[in-house]
Amino acid sequence: MRILFLGDIVGRSGRDAVTDRLPGLRKELALDFVVANGENAAGGYGITGKICQSVYGAGVDAITTGNHVWDQREIIPYIEGDPRLLRPQNFPKNTPGRGFGVFRTQDGRRVAVLHVMLRLFMDALDDPFACVEALLGDHALAQNCDAIVLDIHGEATSEKQALGYFADGRVSLVVGTHTHVPTADGRVLPKGTAYISDAGMCGDYESVIGMQREASVLRFTRKMPGDRLVPAEGEATMCGVLVETDDRTGLAKRIEPLRLGGILAQQRPS
């Protein structure tokens, strides 16, 4: 199976990169399933139902989020009715929405998507390791899932790497989101799980993690309130990873970065 994961979509430029490029990429790369993190899609803050439908229309099969999931208040009633939009599974009990889903590819194969938020330098949440363990107790590769994608949304690469090895051999892909900077450590771990600390973002990299750089710099050079940060509007780089799995085991055969458009060095998976 060929699965594409796209990093955090930031603002209009990020959305345009996805909606313009993904339909062609699905055919070119023979993609079976696409996941995108959309927590910054609405002007850099959260996501809306309208944006979800636009992204789905471009070929995304499931959307993950993160700490900005509730920034657009309209998403609170919407998320209950959209099983393809996930918030972190380790949010407190009774939080609207869900952090896990099993989806079908066009040929009927089962892809599980699990989304957790980490804790170092982040909000205090339920233990993401225990959360992953509980879900994997009921969902296993080569049994009731043909592939499992785990989005780990967090700041610290140490916590991400630890969770990668914790899940090694039990999921197809562990992919970090949240920092918006693509890392160079994409690899297949010893037991067969593809891993990368951060997939990067779909956004304008002539910026500070997707936001206009002038206002961002001012936040670090003076201690006083400033204007709300807004996304940079130049051409976005579409960042993500392509994973190819073994049809027999569901584990990864390879992982390759994707970087298209914008100012970063280009990388198109084979």
Active site residues: 68
Q: Using CA atoms, how far apart are residues 129 and 136, in angstroms rounded to an integer?
A: 11
Q: How many CA atoms lie within 13 A of 245 on its CB side?
A: 31
Q: Using CA atoms, how far apart are residues 165 and 160, in angstroms rounded to an integer?
A: 9
Q: Taking the domain 2-260, which CATH number applies?
A: 3.60.21.10
β-pairing, 201-202 vs 8-9, is parallel
The DSSP H or E segment spanning 239 is strand 238-245
Amino acid 25 reads: L
Q: Using CA atoms, how far apart are residues 260 and 175, in angstroms rounded to an integer?
A: 19
Q: Using CA atoms, how far apart are residues 16 and 235, in angstroms rounded to an integer?
A: 9
Q: Which of 50, 65, 80 shows the shortest CA–CA distance to 113?
A: 65
* pLDDT tier, 232 (very low <50, low <70, confident <90, very high otherwise): very high
Give tens-digit pLDDT for 137-155: 999 999 999 999 999 999 9
Give tens-digit pLDDT for 174-185: 999 999 999 999
**Does the pLDDT value for residue 270 go beyond 90?**
no
Task: Tell me if 127 sits within 8 A of 89, measured CB to CB.
Answer: no
β-pairing, 187-188 vs 194-196, is antiparallel
Buried b (16+ CB within 10 A) or exposed e, 100-116: bbebebeeebebbbbbb
- What pLDDT is stored for residue 223 in this prediction? 82
Q: Which of 96, 187, 183, 110 shows the shortest CA–CA distance to 149?
A: 110
- What pLDDT is stored for residue 225 in this prediction? 80
Task: Tell me if 118 sits within 8 A of 155, measured CB to CB.
Answer: yes
Domain ranges of the chain: 2-260
β-pairing, 2-6 vs 238-245, is antiparallel
Give tens-digit pLDDT for 235-266: 999 999 999 999 999 999 999 999 999 999 99
